[in-house]
Amino acid sequence: MGLFCSNAGHFGFQSKILLSNLNSFTHFIHNKEQLYFANYDFKNQIEQFKVKNNNPLDFPKQLFIEVEKTILLNNLDFENIESTQKPIQIKPTVSKDDYIKKVNTLKQHIQQGDIYEINYCITFEAHDVYIDPLAIYQKLNSISKAPYSALVKFDKQYIISSSPELFLKKQGEKLITKPIKGTAKRGATPEQDIEIKQELYNNHKERNENVMIVDVARNDLSRLAKKGSVSVEKLCDIETYEQVHQMVSTVTCELKDNTSFDDIIHGTFPMASMTGAPKIRAMELIDEYEVYNRGPYSGALGYIEKNGDFDLSVLIRSIFYDEEKQYLSFTVGSAITSMCNAEDEYEECLLKAKAMMEVLSN
């Protein structure tokens, strides 16, 4: 198993390679540096959901892997990379017409007061394929330069991630989460970028989506927090990445005494931005309307220090590959609210898929 992380010196993962041939565990290991992974479907062990299990990917539900060796790296250079990777035919599991029908059906749930917001996603997949995971990872991150980029190998299964989103960061007794809701494409010039960022910041629909998810995140953290310590440090801040601008909020709290790692995960997982409001009902509808159970997509990945501090990303903008099954997929989605337009949401999904489609197709 190896975890490769880029962009040292920026917010996000440190630039490390974590190596281990040690056994994995399904529980937290005290006083050990370790890799952590949680499949989205680990939610079924936190809440009582009707189990759906049709995803061709069969990743572990939760893993803790003790780190055997750590190699610290300087900034990784992904320029001028050569690869013999052949183009791959990627197909969506949902047609545009079916996507629009499902979004409009979900909007009916919203109009009926069943939910207020839901993160609805579509999967793109390829069968009978062979890829070079390291080459794909390098190509993806030469395009995205994501703060939570990672390449992870679990035997024959790979996670190739260019995630921009922080799920949880623990520093001492402080817990931080940074939900993303609100996306706009990059401009062709710096002047266009400034204009687009301002339009995103002022967009009532996008701000409304972000604020609703911030409320879910605040509620999640309140289960773990000392009284009165939950704080929204940044609301609807705009962060810029290689492909897109994102609306990001920062929610923090001071943890109650003796709060364990399991307490934190059980109180907050899955990430608020990847579910909806109310959270439990949104997750039920996600299972009902999405083609596959999500598997590793929108789960969590990161590393835990010996002192118990940790950084965990949300597994979005990520390619998942099973070498033995010769199958890969990636999933993208957006927030569905009463104000959304199904055509626009579909275009947002394609924008988020752009970098992954490019590295696999070219």
Mapping DSSP to helix (H, G, I), strand (E, B) and coil, where does residue 191 land? Answer: helix
Cα(241)–Cα(185) distance, rounded to whole angstroms?
Answer: 10
- Annotated active-site residue 66? The verdict is no
Q: Which long-range contacts (CB under 8 A, 24 or more apart) does 84-89 make?
A: 84/132, 84/135, 85/131, 85/132, 85/135, 85/136, 85/139, 87/360, 87/361, 87/362, 88/126, 88/129, 88/131, 88/328, 88/360, 88/361, 89/126
Q: Name the active-site residue from 16, 169, 181, 279.
A: 181
- Annotated active-site residue 205? The verdict is no
Q: Name the active-site residue from 43, 102, 117, 165.
A: 165
| Residues 164, 30 contacting (CB under 8 angstroms) | no
Classify 79 in phi/psi space as left (phi over 0), alpha (psi -120 to 50) or beta: beta
Closest CA to 299 of 285, 313, 311, 286: 313
Dihedral (CA of 65, 69, 74, 80) sign? negative
Residues belonging to the active site: 165, 181
